[in-house]
Amino acid sequence: MLRHLLLIVTICLISGAVFAQNTQSGTVFENKTRVVLPGVMVENANNGKHTLTDKSGKFIIQAKAGDKLFFTGSFYRPDTLLLTNLNPKEIFLTPKQTTLSEVQVTNIELKTRKGEFTDPAFHGQTVVYHRDQNGNYDGGITVRLHWWDKDNKKKKKQEEFIKDQQIQDEIAKVFSADNIARYVPLKEPDLDNFILLYIPSVKTYINRNFNLASYLNVSYKKYQELPPDLRTAGQLNK
């Protein structure tokens, strides 16, 4: 009996050693800040295996030297790693940044006909000295109003509204209970209250410095500091 038990233990130890020799482990961080990134997809392009980093940013995946790993996460640039050995790795992902196209402003010379000038008091409209029937100045002025294209202005507002709606839909998907549960250790109804209290506005979300992991980390700390009676959604004025 003892002999059989020793045999089983030996087989388990050998199997564990073989498994360890065929797996790659590591931790995924945000570049520069070293904030751990949970929920990052790790995929082995050679054997098709995939996994997600845990709440500590750690992962373990079946792999061998020579395999290529892909790392993808929301709001982060994807990255790849060619395995030369199976030592534990530290992976750093760079946040995606939305940059605005450069706008160049140049001085424009406004040319007016003789006797015309633009008056700031009339919102830059062209002003002409008034003349009598003989062509002489009589002291009055004529303001030439330039009407804007109302249809284009209305169309622009509609486009901005639709864009905001699309961003709000994206925020709702990112801040779903299933997704946020990967980042913060909360369960319903606390999870629902947390999301309703700290779901970001469109302005905050599209800010080039917005980072989901950092935002949730700061928000969770604020949530923990709240007294129980203020953790119910709708009672906190942000």
11 found inside a domain: no
* CATH number of the domain that residue 64 is part of: 2.60.40.1120
pTM of the model: 0.38
**Structure confidence by residue, pLDDT tens digits, 116-145:** 444 444 445 555 555 666 666 555 555 555
**Structure confidence by residue, pLDDT tens digits, 144-203:** 554 455 677 777 777 777 777 888 888 888 888 888 988 888 888 888 888 888 899 888
How high is the pLDDT of residue 11? 53
How high is the pLDDT of residue 119? 46
Place of tokens 């940059």: 99
Name which residue leads in pLDDT, 70 or 233: 70
Cα–Cα distance, 164 to 172 (Å, whole number): 12
For residues 168 and 218, membership in a common domain is answered with yes
80 found inside a domain: yes
Residue 93 in this model has a pLDDT that exceeds 70: yes
Among 232, 237, 224, 225, CA closest to 189: 232
**Structure confidence by residue, pLDDT tens digits, 27-43:** 999 998 899 999 999 99
How high is the pLDDT of residue 10? 52
Give CA separation, 220 vs 129, 151, 185, 209, in Å.
66, 46, 9, 19
Number of separate domains in the chain: 3
Q: Mapping DSSP to helix (H, G, I), strand (E, B) and coil, where does residue 229 land? A: helix
55 found inside a domain: yes
How high is the pLDDT of residue 159? 75
How high is the pLDDT of residue 91? 96
195 found inside a domain: yes
191 found inside a domain: yes
Query: What count of residues does the chain have?
Result: 238
Q: Which domain holds residue 47?
A: 24-93
For residues 83 and 54, membership in a common domain is answered with yes
8 A C-beta contact, residue 93 and residue 69: no
How high is the pLDDT of residue 37? 93
For residues 160 and 219, membership in a common domain is answered with yes
Name which residue leads in pLDDT, 233 or 195: 195
For residues 157 and 211, membership in a common domain is answered with yes
For residues 155 and 141, membership in a common domain is answered with no
For residues 158 and 196, membership in a common domain is answered with yes
10 found inside a domain: no
For residues 47 and 81, membership in a common domain is answered with yes
Among 33, 23, 28, 26, CA closest to 74: 28
**Structure confidence by residue, pLDDT tens digits, 11-67:** 555 455 544 569 999 999 999 889 999 999 999 999 999 999 999 999 999 999 999
